[in-house]
Amino acid sequence: MYMDGTLTQNLVESPIQRYLDALYERFLPLRDGNVADYIPELATADRDAFGIALVTVDGHVYQAGDTRQPFTIQSISKALVYGLALEDNGVDAVTAKIGVEPSGDAFNSISLEDGTGRPLNPMINAGAIATTGLVHGKDRNEVLARILARFGQYMGHEPEVDGVVYASERDTGHRNRAIAHMLRNFDILEGDPEDALDVYFRQCSINVTCRDLALAAATLANRGVNPITGVVALKRDLVGKVLSVMSTCGMYDYAGSWIYEVGLPAKSGVGGGIMAVLPGQLGLGVFSPPLDARGNSVRGIRVCQEISKEFDLHLFNAARIAPSVIRARYDGSGVRSKRARTREQSEKLDEAGKRLRIYELHGDLAFGTTEIVIHDVTSAMTDTDYLILDFRRVYSVDGAAGKLLLRLCEDFETAGKQIVFTHTGNKFELERLLRRSLERETADRILRFADRDRALEWCENELLGQSASDLELSMSAGFTGQEYLDGLAPDQLARLESLLEKRRYAAGELIAHKGDPANEIFFLTRGAASISLPLVHNARTRLATLSAGMAFGESALIGDSHRTADVRAETDVECYVLLASELADVDDPELTQIRARLIENLACGLADKLRSANLEIQSLS
Ligand code: GLN
């Protein structure tokens, strides 16, 4: 936004997108590891290719690097095919043939259970070949077609087999062939073991992108429903079974350290892909061909470690579940602070208020819930310059959410826009991060206000284009500049002025006290005064702040009553005071006319207040 208050259309970038871009840059120079070459065709992979994709259970996609470059899915297929075999046969029939115990061995180990010949789990090759043998279909082609169709449900489009990689693997896969024949020997595989083996080679050679992997992972995170297409890719009661074997066995003999450190069920493949799932929140896909000694992508592991640490995604550090953290959102044209405005200012705010948006949040803010807020906010900020994030009903803000919010502040700053926080006082982690960022000057201006009312007031001043000196000016007005005296003729004004007493109050001084007799009307000519009510624990709620040119205590005109709130000078105040009884002489026609006019003005003022209260109620509902 420009200082003259004109509208800007700068887009706010998502801090999540910015984070992935930075992560990509950071790990691009990491060149450790070797491209798999035991399948000759894999050795031709581009070792520099590198992509990161993140898809949320709401279907929001973030990606950085080579996320559309195809590579073969390899062992990641094992997890998806396992789900299909469970659906085809039921859990008991599958576990009768394939165990669910981590082997701690390499992916291609020929370890079968003593006596039964059962592979230890479906994530090592032996278990995976047995799993493929369990997928229903009248022949190889039908089984493969069902697998491809199933992958299509996870990925939103049906992928294809890379014929060259398949041929390479088929011609050199002697070890896998040995495993398949052993499985046949123990009747784990039934029929021709070459059938299961052939489909297995093909399923490993299916081309995917890292966006596909992230979407498949997000589908698992979303209880089997593809979050973009809405298609069911896996029965919901089986999702937990697939994620369990991914947790305990998905990263081969690195599985234990992986779940301990990264805490995400995951599956890797020798093509360089890793798919990781945070149930209920998101899916990750990373692609980078060079592998470590265990056959896991070197960059893939580093990226997952970093993202998990940065955003506290460890499965067992779960956030409390909240359906949505956005309680209400609306623009500023219908809501006003308690700062009273002149009619002209008020009309200006009816229009300019559209450039302000207010989000009331509730519940617990962690990575997933904060992403929802950020996604909503960044897409709503094109015509908006100010954003109030109201934390009044937020229980907690964890470190990951705090970091994201801070980065959102920076992104707003870059786009020339402003975020205003309210009620952050008891969100200690957020407060700490905000303070630290101000100290380090990573953000020039982070604004926090005690409550929504004060935040609204600040934004309104900005929207009115009022600099501090403008505001100072508007805080002084002569007696004749009083809104409340509209329609009085010059001689009536002169008569009224003769009845007034001039008074001054120092900033902070009490002007009227709740319960006092209400017999005086105050016309502010300089400074500002606030009307407020005491609450429990020394807190107060502000009913209004009035500035020069405005009046308070007018109800003294309508009858004997008592003050219903406290009035305190916010700044040094100068005012004229009229004792209501001065106008009471019914035998004086001029006084009677003046009094009638003032009562009419009072009625107009009340009607205005009612109108804006109605507008506010409407925008809050
Ligand atoms: N197709 C490969 C194999 O069976 C898959 C191995 C893997 O990705 N870990 O050797």
Residue range 118-177, pLDDT digits in tens: 999 999 999 999 999 999 999 999 999 999 999 999 999 999 999 999 999 999 999 999
> Which tops the pLDDT comparison, 247 or 103?
247
pLDDT band at residue 115 under the 50/70/90 scheme: confident
pLDDT tens, 479-520?
777 778 888 888 988 898 889 999 999 999 999 998 888 889
Residue 262 annotated in active site: no
Integer Cα distance of 344 and 60 in angstroms: 43
| Residue owning tokens 């109108």 | 611
**Ligand 1 site, residue 204, Cβ cutoff 6 A:** yes
pLDDT tens, 440-484?
776 667 888 988 999 999 999 999 886 555 665 566 677 777 778
Residue 75 annotated in active site: yes
**Ligand 1 site, residue 295, Cβ cutoff 6 A:** yes
| Residue owning tokens 């990750």 | 284
End-to-end CA distance of the chain: 30
Mean pLDDT score across all residues of the chain: 89
> Which tops the pLDDT comparison, 547 or 310?
310
Phi and psi dihedrals of 391, rounded to 5?
-95, 15
From 41, 81, 107, the mutation candidate for ligand 1 (largest count of ligand atoms within 8 A of CB) is 107
Superfamily of domain 326-466: STAS domain (3.30.750.24)
**Ligand 1 site, residue 369, Cβ cutoff 6 A:** no
For 266-301, the three-class secondary structure string (H helix, E strand, C coil) is: EEECCCCEEEEEECCCEEEEEECCCECCCCCEHHHH
> Among 174, 175, 183, 172, which residue's Cα sits nearest to residue 134?
183
Pick from 12-21, 25-34, 549-558: least confident:
549-558
**Ligand 1 site, residue 203, Cβ cutoff 6 A:** no
From 161, 204, 275, the mutation candidate for ligand 1 (largest count of ligand atoms within 8 A of CB) is 204
pLDDT band at residue 4 under the 50/70/90 scheme: very low
CA 573 to chain centre: 44
Residue 467 annotated in active site: no
Residue in 252, 254, 386, 576 annotated catalytic? 252
Atom number of ligand 1 nearest to Cα 271 = 8
Cα-to-centroid distance, 548 and ligand 1 (Å)? 78
Architecture per CATH, domain 479-620, reads as Sandwich (2.60)
For the question of whether the overall pTM of this predicted structure is more than 0.85, the answer is: no
> Among 301, 265, 269, which residue's Cα sits nearest to residue 280?
265
The one-character DSSP state at 121 is: -
Residue 502 annotated in active site: no
| 358 bridge partner residues | 330, 388
> Among 335, 573, 355, which residue's Cα sits nearest to residue 465?
355
Q: What is the pLDDT of residue 455?
A: 94
**Ligand 1 site, residue 65, Cβ cutoff 6 A:** no
Hey, which bits of 211-253 come out as E strands?
A: none
**Ligand 1 site, residue 75, Cβ cutoff 6 A:** yes
Domain boundaries of the chain, sorted by first residue: 2-317, 326-466, 479-620
**Ligand 1 site, residue 69, Cβ cutoff 6 A:** no
Atom number of ligand 1 nearest to Cα 125 = 4
Integer Cα distance of 314 and 569 in angstroms: 52
Integer Cα distance of 560 and 558 in angstroms: 7
Cβ atoms of 82 and 131 within 8 Å: the answer is yes
pLDDT tens, 357-403?
999 999 889 898 999 999 999 988 888 999 999 999 998 898 889 99
Q: What is the pLDDT of residue 468?
A: 54
| 573 bridge partner residues | 505
Integer Cα distance of 130 and 189 in angstroms: 6
Atom number of ligand 1 nearest to Cα 295 = 9
Residue 241 annotated in active site: no
Architecture per CATH, domain 2-317, reads as 3-Layer(aba) Sandwich (3.40)
Plot region of 282 (φ>0 → left; ψ -120 to 50 → alpha; else → beta): beta
| 74-96 average pLDDT score | 98
- Cβ neighbours for 290, distance < 8 A, ≥ 6 positions apart: 31, 32, 33, 34, 35, 47, 272, 297, 298, 299
Residue in 14, 75, 205, 530 annotated catalytic? 75
pLDDT tens, 343-353?
788 888 989 99
Cα-to-centroid distance, 170 and ligand 1 (Å)? 12
Q: What is the pLDDT of residue 580?
A: 86
- Cβ neighbours for 112, distance < 8 A, ≥ 6 positions apart: 118, 119, 120, 126, 182, 183, 186, 188
Over pLDDT 70: what percentage of the chain? 95
β-strand 501-505 against 551-552: which pairing, if any?
unpaired
H helix or E strand, kind and range, residue 382: none
Is the pLDDT at 328 greater than 70? The verdict is: yes
Cβ atoms of 14 and 375 within 8 Å: the answer is yes
Pick from 42-56, 218-232, 268-282, 462-476: least confident:
462-476
Is the pLDDT at 179 greater than 90? The verdict is: yes
The number of beta carbons lying within 10 Å of the beta carbon of residue 533 is 13
For 406-468, the three-class secondary structure string (H helix, E strand, C coil) is: HHHHHHHHHCCCEEEEECCCCCHHHHHHHHHHHHHCCCCCCEEECCHHHHHHHHHHHHCCCCH
Q: What is the pLDDT of residue 150?
A: 98
**Ligand 1 site, residue 249, Cβ cutoff 6 A:** no
Q: What is the pLDDT of residue 616?
A: 72
Burial class for 375, CB neighbours closer than 10 Å (0-12, 13-18, 19+): middle
Closest residue CA from atom 10 of ligand 1: 108
Cβ atoms of 179 and 110 within 8 Å: the answer is yes
> Among 514, 498, 525, 521, which residue's Cα sits nearest to residue 581?
521
